[in-house]
Amino acid sequence: MAPAKHSIFLCFPLLFIISLSFRPVFAQKPVFACDVSNNPGLKNFTFCDPSLDVKSRVADLVGRLTLQEKIGWLVDAAQGVSRLGIPNYEWWSEALHGVSFVGPGTKFSSLVPGATSFPQVILTGATFNESLFEAIGKVVSTEARAMYNVGLAGLTFWSPNVNIFRDPRWGRGQETPGEDPLLSSKYGAAYVRGLQQRDDGDKDRLKVAACCKHYTAYDLDDWKGIRRYNFNALVTQQDLDDTFQPPFKSCVIDGNVASVMCSYNQVNGKPTCGDPDLLSGVIRGQWKLNGYIVSDCDSLNEIFNAQHYTKTPEETAALTVNAGLDLNCGSFLSKNAQAAVDRGLLNETAIDRAVSNNFATMMRLGFFDGDPSKTLYGNLGPKDVCTPANQEFAREAAQQGIVLLKNTKGSLPLSPTAIKSLAVIGPNANATHTMLGNYEGNPCKYTTPLQGLAVSVATVYQPGCADVPCGTAQVDAAKKVAAAADAVVLVMGSDDKIEKESLDRVDITLPGQQQLLVSAVANVSKGPVILVIMSGGGMDVQFAKDDPKITSILWVGFPGEAGGAAIADVIFGLYNPSGRLPMTWYPQSYADKVNMSDMHMRPDPSRDYPGRTYRFYKGPTVFPFGEGLSYSEFNHQLVKAPKFVSMPLEEGHVCQSSKCLSIDAVDETCKNLAFDVHLKVKNVGKMKGSHTIFLFSSPPQVHNAPQKQLLGFQKMHLEPQGEGMVRFNVDICKDLSLVDENGNKKVALGKHLLHVGNLKHSLNVRI
């Protein structure tokens, strides 16, 4: 079946062409309620009074609405109530790495033809720079608010995507910050703060509303006919609690996100948007979401039509709203909620709860405060979008993410004076739109890799393949320019024909004949050969790692509108690379052997299942999680770390009477249980640069614990020979704990091996 979203996706290429060639001017006024200048009577309504608290205003508003009017606010294309001065509102806007044209709530026009397009999130994840995550969110929300003011965008943005990138084939892995729950948690909370936080520090109000998605254990789009719409993710309680849920929990608790989106798939036989334990129980109950729960687009229809989980549309409507769903992306509830009420399956109290959550969010956004032009963000407009500073920041973000994976001595950085001619080869060498990745908007402008490189040296260009899938490589033409050049840069990898939403990969090698082209070109080259891989997911490029003629490898993700400039900055040493892989790069044999639909994180030797991610997978990798070289070298020295810590035991704990492998991490035990690790870091190279310090631990192997787990990361900038101190504060119950097979939080007793780079330190946890 073709849900609404599909038709939108099919229109993309067309939309894109239209928006570049013909830019209609849309409304130039923001959409808002309580416009007292037009209708002085609205002043009398409590819900229009910004000086009152949100709760009273919402109660007043809901009390004035008929059931039919309320139902109009259960769907993304919300129906205005003109008698109360409430206009239509479109909830669906997106801002994953810049204001996006995905979703009907946002449009570009001649007034705002483009917005700053930051790197696709996977490359931002590779920066391991928490302040950058937040700073990007802040720029994006400023541009979003500026577009709202001229009627081109909404106030509710369904970003970020914090699903765990657990399988290299996932077409949407590019949208996420990677495979590690800690990184995803920190990314999610920081990006949400960047989007939502107001400059006046008013915590009750929102600059724009973010949304963490897709809750939960989603991570598969379309692989060998298994589709997200009816995929039943079989997930153990342990994997759910220590892998899939942490980023969502952090979004809600640490980021105060205003919304969570439930996913298309089922988890253990129940559709997530109809599971009261996951919605009312966890998000609303345990985590105390202050905001609304929205369904993925048309997912209610999928529950009924694709999953056949419910017998009637009315039953579906009742199931989801009763489970805790507040807003339906799509029109399912506007069509079926009334009938569900009429049949006694759904009551008005539940609908009141749902619309109250939706209205409360709109009140926090100022939507019911009347004309926004005199308010904090009222002055923003087209002049605040694509500013030179924002565009420069997109370049800086790409610089910070690019990962250097191989560098033979004497290869990179290239000297722009020594290189008289540079051959630039490959189907992504002159990439534009490909640099943006999924959930893009129109960029301010593009700098392609070729344009970026040509600023410093004379270039000759050969695409080498007709397109990225590279059915037949144009080897001879490429060899000819390579043989004549002082150095070669090959820009290869994937694009949206290979990996995107609704398209998972089967092969994780370079597409088509790209590998053949790379090897042939390298073979005839006389100088350095730099392989640049532009992709969302990892690639099996073992051949390039092993080929001595390929002297350097860079991974550049989908680097955003300024990607070509950032690639050139790294290649010519204007920026010292500091990115680290946020996901494991597996060999093709992994993809051949492992079912993508198998959600288990932990290995199972009895069925030869190798497990997933650096936390559990022990097999061969092409490049491991955290890999990334610099033009400098950095040394670590341990200054301070305890050799043991003692855990107080709660009265009556089972460990008092028997020998224990772990103890319960309960509140009483956990109070003030923390220690510091101090490290000295020195740049012993000749170039200034940034360096990421990872603190990992390998816990005692009880309860199927991960073999290795990231406890913290910090990034610091050091001049040549510069030194700095890093302090990690490790909270034993929060950071060092694990989740047992039943989802209980435990601290393992015995030896925890802490590691930073090559340093290892043994910490004994005892009672």
Tokens of 315: 């039953």
Which is closer to ligand NAG, CB of 446 or CB of 585?
446
Cα of 26 vs its chain's centroid, Å = 30
What are the beta bridge partners of residue 626?
none
Candidate segments 491-499, 506-514, 595-603, 664-672, binder of ligand NAG by CB under 6 A: 595-603
> Which residue number has the CB closest to ligand NAG?
41
- Side-chain half-sphere exposure of 136, counting CA atoms within 13 A: 34
Contact between 716 and ligand NAG per CB under 6 A? yes
Contact between 520 and ligand NAG per CB under 6 A? yes
Candidate segments 125-133, 280-288, 291-299, 363-371, binder of ligand NAG by CB under 6 A: 125-133
Contact between 465 and ligand NAG per CB under 6 A? no
Contact between 459 and ligand NAG per CB under 6 A? no
Contact between 432 and ligand NAG per CB under 6 A? yes
Q: How far is the CB of 135 from ligand NAG (least distance, A)?
A: 4
Q: How far is the CB of 708 from ligand NAG (least distance, A)?
A: 24
Q: According to CB under 6 A, which one of 28, 131, 415, 721 is a site residue for ligand NAG?
A: 131
Contact between 543 and ligand NAG per CB under 6 A? no
Which is closer to ligand NAG, CB of 7 or CB of 349?
349
DSSP annotation of 765 reads E
Tokens of 246: 């942490």
Which is closer to ligand NAG, CB of 455 or CB of 716?
716
C-alpha to C-alpha distances, 641 to 578, 595, 676, 710, nearest whole angstrom: 26, 42, 6, 17
What's the length of the chain? 767
Contact between 232 and ligand NAG per CB under 6 A? no
Tokens of 268: 């253990």
425 closest CA partner among 394, 459, 452: 459
Contact between 135 and ligand NAG per CB under 6 A? yes
DSSP annotation of 127 reads T
Tokens of 257: 């996100």
Contact between 349 and ligand NAG per CB under 6 A? yes
Contact between 421 and ligand NAG per CB under 6 A? no
Backbone angles phi, psi at 766, to 5 degrees: -140, 170
Which is closer to ligand NAG, CB of 550 or CB of 763?
550
How far apart (Å, rounded) are the C-alpha atoms in residues 660 and 645?
16
Candidate segments 53-61, 108-116, 195-203, 714-722, binder of ligand NAG by CB under 6 A: 714-722
Candidate segments 75-83, 126-134, 172-180, 700-708, binder of ligand NAG by CB under 6 A: 126-134
Contacts of ligand NAG in 16-75 (CB under 6 A): 40-41, 44
Largest CA distance in the chain: 80
Place of tokens 């999130």: 121
Catalytic residue, chosen from 296, 298, 495, 569, is 296
Q: How far is the CB of 598 from ligand NAG (least distance, A)?
A: 6
How far apart (Å, rounded) are the C-alpha atoms in residues 449 and 556?
11
Tokens of 449: 């890799």
Q: According to CB under 6 A, which one of 149, 185, 361, 448 is a site residue for ligand NAG?
A: 448
Confirm whether 254 is a catalytic residue.
Answer: no
Contact between 430 and ligand NAG per CB under 6 A? yes
Contact between 450 and ligand NAG per CB under 6 A? yes
Please, are residues 712 and 736 in contact by the beta-carbon 8 Å criterion?
Answer: no
C-alpha to C-alpha distances, 748 to 189, 660, 676, 706, 765, nearest whole angstrom: 28, 9, 19, 12, 7
Q: How far is the CB of 322 from ligand NAG (least distance, A)?
A: 4
Burial (CB < 10 A; 0-12, 13-18, 19+), residue 192, is buried
3-state secondary structure at position 476: helix
Site residues, ligand NAG (CB under 6 A): 40-41, 44, 129, 131-132, 135, 322, 347, 349-350, 430, 432, 448, 450, 461, 519-520, 523, 595, 597-598, 690, 715-717
Which residues carry out catalysis?
296
